[in-house]
Amino acid sequence: MAGGRRKKQHFGRIHSFSCGRASFNGEHSLIGGPGFSRIVFCNDPECFEAGQLKYGGNYVRTTKYTLATYFPKALFEQFRRVANIYFLICAILSFTALSPYTAFSTVFPLVVVVGVTMGKEAVEDWRRKRQDIEMNNRKVKFHRGDGVFDHTKWMDLKVGDVVKVEKDEFFPADLILLSSSYDDAICYVETTNLDGETNLKLKQALDVTAKLLDDSSFENFRAIIKCEDPNANLYSFVGNLLLGDQFPLTPQQLLLRDSKLRNTDYVYGVVIFTGHDTKVIQNSTAPPSKRSKIEKRMDKLVYLLFFALVVLSFIGSIFFGITTSEDLENGVMKRWYLRPDDTTIYYDPERAPVAAIFHFLTALMLYGYLIPISLYVSIEIVKVLQSVFINRDLNMYYVEGDKPARARTSNLNEELGQVDTILSDKTGTLTCNSMEFIKCTIAGTAYGRGITEVERALARGKEAPLVQEVVEEDNVEEIDETKPSIKGYNFIDERITNGNWVKEPRADVIQEFLRLLAVCHTAIPEADDETGKISYEAESPDEAAFVIAARELGFEFYERTQTSISMNELDPMSGRKVARSVLVKVEVSDLLHPMDKRSNIKPFIAIAHITQHRIYKIMNIIEFSSSRKRMSVIVRNEEGKLLLLSKGADSVMFERLAQDGREFEVQTRLHINEYADAGLRTLVLAYRELSEEEYSEFNEEFSRAKNLVSADREEMIEEVAEMIEKDLILLGATAVEDKLQNGVPECIDKLAQAGIKLWVLTGDKMETAINIGFACSLLRQGMKQIIINSETSAIRALEKAGDKSAVDVAAKANVIQQISEGKALLSVASEDSEALALIIDGKSLIYALEDDVKDMFLELAIGCASVICCRSSPKQKALVTRLVKVKTGSTTLAIGDGANDVGMLQEADIGVGISGVEGMQAVMSSDIAIAQFRFLERLLLVHGHWCYRRISSMICYFFYKNIAFGFTLFFFEAYASFSGQTAYNDWYMSFYNVFFTSLPVIAQGVFDQDIAARFCLKFPLLYQEGVQNVLFSWTRILGWAFNGVLSSTLIFFFCARAMEHQAFRKGGEVVGMEIFGTLMYTCLIWVVNCQMALSINYFTLIQHIVIWGGIALWYIFLLVYGAMDPDISTTAYQVFIEACAPALSFWLVTLFVTVATLLPYFSYAAIQMRFFPMYHQMIQWIKNDGHSEDPEYCQMVRQRSLRSTTVGYTARFSRSKLELPEQV
């Protein structure tokens, strides 16, 4: 069905630019050459020429495997692990005579472990596959032919297809915009999925295709596009459209896959890049591979056990070789029962060295149980379950946004418990990124009585109440009750609200100020069809706040067309010819404008300022950029005057003022500084009238620069803008507050008490960042600040001279000098136990991160309690993160919410994304996503501590039980003259790690808690156990290894001595090898499971089931396996029913050995707990003794977390109490 042409004035063209014939310059001359060879046959994808090009389809696959590659790739991934390669070699050798046990019993555990891991990979890949299926099967309208558009699947699109995308739909491929529902062929695009930016981008088709108004227009449409080859650059595109003549294509016509059509009914476009050729897929890179420090140390442990295995095998083979060589001397057989005169090569006394080598290979297989085959898969299972608990923690669920915490990877759970340094973005992370218009200065007079969080923090620091807050308290409450809160507007000042500004001495300047706020922007109004209420789509929260403030103060912007802005203005009374306000009598029933209603209205008469409808014709918009730091709009008012309205940063606006336009400069600068001290963002507003001749000359140059298609296009636009943006008249400045998120100061305080350092990396100016630091209690009154910046008079003089090399040399020398001075101050402060703060700007950071300076900078930064990097670029954020991570070797966590934080998140050991208002780019690049900064407290202090403790204890226990098992084999080998004989039945050995001892360790890794969550938060210093790696130090690891060796020694020798010469059954039979092995294995199962019971701090029903169930399972296995045919059960046939169970000595020895083996660990743990308690054990004592609510006991333990160099409000108050007696 043909779509109707949209001719609606609600959303029109924002930016004034020409889309006529652009000039062919720069890269367009490269078309047809290397890298620019793509040819698209528009609306004719099935033609012969298109078929010869063989472009890929639009099917997108993000899976790791395909059906054909799953097995080879998944097996390759599994056997990249050294342990698995070892077990594979053992499995292969088990089919030879060298094997001490049957092949099946060796292969089966390996198949189970590898199979489970591969199954996990398959499940995860299937989830990705389902996402791919959903994406590829989305529907879009495409031109089937004869002017008819039908629905088709995304994956069926071909290069050259013409598609029709409707409002709020995603683009299915990279398209060239042909036309839209707007007369001038524009459309609005949201690119949140690409760059994280929520502001809308404006696109416009070429004039030559804009006439394709409806579906039927495409019946005979044919064209050829020649353009660049597929590449990853999102912001550039070079191509030509051949449609009778040749027309240049730019990024202005490019619609990228995964971006969304907004505020436009429909667009038509032609597919140029499909599937994996699209720019978004070209940009998708695999996230960096991150491994926790515990996992890396675990690898070293595996290597250490390999070394022990080789040493034991080597020792055994030497003894075996010596003993074998002595078996036959001069024809005399020493061990005649072995028949050394008639044996195989494996025991031949004549070739003892060869026999020893073969024995070495056998021993390598035999002692393989030292290596825990199920360790990796058990850890993966545990980490996945830990991630489920993180995802389902209601204390980290953000109700307002319906956003739970989400662990996007489970590989780094334990790393959450070892974070030493947090590197945080500010805007949107510490703050809400929800701007509120709170203050302004107009004509040198400051307006706005609101109190910012920073001002409150400063008042708390000085322990003095805010006079202004006390005076205005009653009035504020009255206003809050009578007027609902408005998002983006928190302005309180009766002098100019409710139309009272008309009574101010400089009402004319206030009028121009508010008019500029309402006109100088790129916001789009959108009226609610039911309520009629107008909301605004703006490029930034700041801009939305300005438009809302203008509306609330009487200048309501309500409509935008392609060439104009419409407003309802509230004009002051004037003696001029044009009556801009009138005095009228109105009945109460004649409703006043909402913003003009007052509580003291009289029964039948009120004074009302009548709003007038005014239209401003948009001539040009000069857009904001990070280099310009300002935006301007040129409009023509109803009187025909040309006005240049401009707003921007104070650093660029004051220098553009005319000499007679600086009337309020001194007062405005003073107010701006006060606003910056209050943590507010400021913009300066100025304007001037233009003559027709001046504008005509500017417009000609501006249009020429806009139509350029070359690399220096932006530079040319800026040069032309410089010509007109001068001789401005100052009106005033705005101040908006980016509020702190709820709970940020409290969270930072707890993290500081936990010993975690916090660095803030922000793009804001230094004054704003410093004051946010005060609000967060990262800074406090009296804390010495080391400020490093490049704004010195000498450097400014060199910059004016234009000598860039001299500027670089001087700036670097200046930074080095300031760092040296800071280090000197640091050494003095460390002697006095004073906390220091380091603040550095972006320019200085460039030199501080150079190879010959960065070590000095890092040494200074580490010694400071707080570090704030201002005006930091995304690259600098990533470089600072890498510097801290690499040079200190400590665990770093980066947290941010925007696309500019992605590099920092990927560079850090752990990347945490805030799912806020700046899109999902940071979340998609993160390891863990949370909705609010305050949730970081629970994520680290609770889940981080638990995960670290659980994984550390789990690995230590794993190695303990395998060492205990492996050394019983070694001792039996020594007992049996290193003959290669196994102590246990083959299936006993195979099931040891898989069934009998695996579930308790998994349960420990998932459920164990040394301290409850509320105590983790109450005693933050507990977190330092992870930072200092107390629970996984080499001392602790070797201690558990020693415990394993001791346990195996006691088990073997107690069992051997108890059973060696005793009659075991009523018939007088002594113990055979099969009974001895079963007894020793039973003792081993009891010991390692009871050892787990002793190690657990927090018992659950599941842990009881798996520990005691593991022991019970062993007895059930003995019954079932022993009842099988002797060909299957071999040495285990009827061993329990006929031999072990009837013998009292079997049960007595089991009991005695279990108690005797566990006694050393129990004694050590009791002494250590009583006389040398660790920090968590101290907390356990408080809890167990019932002192958990006793302030004195709690303070005694908690005071260890408050140090002189700690930041946070608790430390700040503690410091102020110490300083108070000195001041007195």
Each residue's pLDDT tens digit, 1173-1193: 887 777 777 777 666 666 665
For residue 474, the model assigns a pLDDT of 44
For residue 472, the model assigns a pLDDT of 44
Under the banding of pLDDT at 50, 70 and 90, the label for residue 172 is very high
> Is residue 340 left, alpha or beta, with left meaning phi > 0 and alpha meaning psi from -120 to 50?
alpha
For residue 222, the model assigns a pLDDT of 92
For residue 865, the model assigns a pLDDT of 86
Q: What is the mean pLDDT of residues 744-751?
A: 85
Does residue 524 sit in helix, strand or coil? strand
156-167 tens-digit pLDDT: 999 999 999 999
The dihedral formed by the CA atoms of 359, 361, 363 and 365, expressed in degrees to the nearest 10 = -150
Under the banding of pLDDT at 50, 70 and 90, the label for residue 593 is very low
Higher-pLDDT residue of 1128 and 233 is 1128
CA–CA gap between residue 584 and residue 240 (Å, rounded):
62
> Is residue 443 left, alpha or beta, with left meaning phi > 0 and alpha meaning psi from -120 to 50?
left
Q: What is the mean pLDDT of residues 613-620?
A: 90
Query: Hey, CA dihedral for 582, 587, 593, 596, is it positive or negative?
Result: positive
CA–CA gap between residue 291 and residue 909 (Å, rounded):
8
CA–CA gap between residue 640 and residue 479 (Å, rounded):
40
**pLDDT > 60? residue 689:** yes
Higher-pLDDT residue of 1064 and 110 is 110
Q: Strand locations in 167-222, DSSP E?
A: 174-180, 186-190, 200-204
* Residue 399 in tokens: 């109700």
Amino acid 835 reads: A
For residue 169, the model assigns a pLDDT of 93
Contact between residue 199 and residue 538 where contact means Cβ atoms under 8 Å apart: yes
| Mean pLDDT, rounded, of the chain | 81
1-12 tens-digit pLDDT: 444 444 433 333
**Element containing residue 724 per DSSP (H, E):** helix 713-724
Does residue 1072 sit in helix, strand or coil? coil
Q: What is the mean pLDDT of residues 679-708?
A: 88
How many helices (H) and strands (E) are present in the chain, helices listed first?
41, 35
For residue 385, the model assigns a pLDDT of 92
Under the banding of pLDDT at 50, 70 and 90, the label for residue 704 is confident
**pLDDT > 50? residue 706:** yes
Place of tokens 């945080």: 424
Could you give the C-alpha distances from 238 to 22, 710, 1101, in angstroms and in order? 12, 10, 66
Catalytic residue among 161, 425, 901, 909: 425
**pLDDT > 60? residue 590:** no
Other beta carbons within 10 angstroms of residue 1168's beta carbon come to: 12
Amino acid 963 reads: I
For residue 1207, the model assigns a pLDDT of 65
633-658 tens-digit pLDDT: 999 998 999 999 999 988 889 999 99
259-276 tens-digit pLDDT: 889 888 999 999 999 998
Q: What is the mean pLDDT of residues 468-485?
A: 46
For residue 322, the model assigns a pLDDT of 85
Give this prediction's pTM.
Answer: 0.73
For residue 1218, the model assigns a pLDDT of 46
For residue 352, the model assigns a pLDDT of 82
Lowest mean pLDDT among 395-399, 539-543, 556-560, 572-576: 572-576
Range ranked top by mean pLDDT from 17-21, 332-336, 1127-1131: 1127-1131
Distance, first Cα to last Cα, the chain: 85
Instruction: Give the strand order in the sheet containing 223-227.
Output: 38-42, 223-227, 239-243, 245-249
> Is residue 317 left, alpha or beta, with left meaning phi > 0 and alpha meaning psi from -120 to 50?
alpha
CA–CA gap between residue 1122 and residue 1115 (Å, rounded):
10
59-109 tens-digit pLDDT: 988 788 888 888 888 888 888 777 788 888 888 888 888 878 777 877 888
For residue 669, the model assigns a pLDDT of 93
Half-sphere exposure of 890 (CA within 13 A, CB side): 21
Pairing of strands 757-761, 866-869: parallel
Under the banding of pLDDT at 50, 70 and 90, the label for residue 122 is confident
CA–CA gap between residue 461 and residue 1070 (Å, rounded):
83
Does residue 648 sit in helix, strand or coil? strand
**pLDDT > 70? residue 198:** no
Helical H runs in 910-985?
921-924, 935-938, 945-975
For residue 708, the model assigns a pLDDT of 66
Q: What is the gyration radius of the CA atoms in the chain, in angstroms?
A: 38
Catalytic residue check, 425:
yes
Lowest mean pLDDT among 755-764, 796-805, 1088-1097: 796-805
Under the banding of pLDDT at 50, 70 and 90, the label for residue 1007 is very high
* Residue 990 in tokens: 């195979």
For residue 585, the model assigns a pLDDT of 29
**pLDDT > 60? residue 20:** no
Does residue 913 sit in helix, strand or coil? strand
For residue 91, the model assigns a pLDDT of 85
For residue 437, the model assigns a pLDDT of 93
Q: What is the mean pLDDT of residues 664-676?
A: 90
CA–CA gap between residue 782 and residue 835 (Å, rounded):
9
Under the banding of pLDDT at 50, 70 and 90, the label for residue 696 is very high
Range ranked top by mean pLDDT from 11-25, 201-215, 283-297: 201-215
423-441 tens-digit pLDDT: 998 877 887 767 889 999 9
Half-sphere exposure of 969 (CA within 13 A, CB side): 29
Half-sphere exposure of 935 (CA within 13 A, CB side): 25
**pLDDT > 50? residue 479:** no
Q: What is the mean pLDDT of residues 25-39?
A: 66
Q: What is the mean pLDDT of residues 842-864?
A: 89
Q: What is the mean pLDDT of residues 674-702?
A: 89
Lowest mean pLDDT among 99-103, 541-545, 555-559: 99-103
Q: How large a percentage of the chain has pLDDT more than 70?
A: 83
276-297 tens-digit pLDDT: 899 888 766 555 667 788 888 8
Higher-pLDDT residue of 902 and 111 is 111
**pLDDT > 70? residue 602:** no
Under the banding of pLDDT at 50, 70 and 90, the label for residue 799 is low
Higher-pLDDT residue of 1049 and 1099 is 1049
Other beta carbons within 10 angstroms of residue 246's beta carbon come to: 14
Lowest mean pLDDT among 90-94, 151-155, 731-735, 1001-1005: 90-94
Q: What is the mean pLDDT of residues 331-335?
A: 68
CA–CA gap between residue 920 and residue 899 (Å, rounded):
8
Lowest mean pLDDT among 172-176, 694-698, 701-705, 797-801: 797-801
For residue 921, the model assigns a pLDDT of 63
Under the banding of pLDDT at 50, 70 and 90, the label for residue 207 is confident
Lowest mean pLDDT among 51-60, 168-177, 331-340, 415-424: 331-340
